[in-house]
Amino acid sequence: MFGRVQGVGYRFNCCRQACSLGLTGWVRNLPDDSVEIVAEGPPAALNAFVAWCREGPTYADVEHVAETPEPATGEFPVFEIKD
């Protein structure tokens, strides 16, 4: 995610949204002020999650979402916030 996505509760709300959709993976801030997300789950849940990511929480201003679909690995037991 690019835009105003750090310092606005994006990771916390992202994690909450992903968990509510039954997704696994992680979210983290990057040094360039963007946010990186890796998520796995059913296609419908992933589509709903990507739609949420394009909006973000109240004070976010998401300018661009870059998606890179990859095969699921099943390696994530939960969805978490990484430092």
Residues taking part in catalysis: 11, 29
Indicate left, alpha or beta for 79 from its phi (over 0: left) and psi (-120 to 50: alpha): beta
Burial class (CB in 10 A: 0-12, 13-18, 19+), 18: buried
CA–CA distance, 78 with 53 (Å, rounded to integer): 18
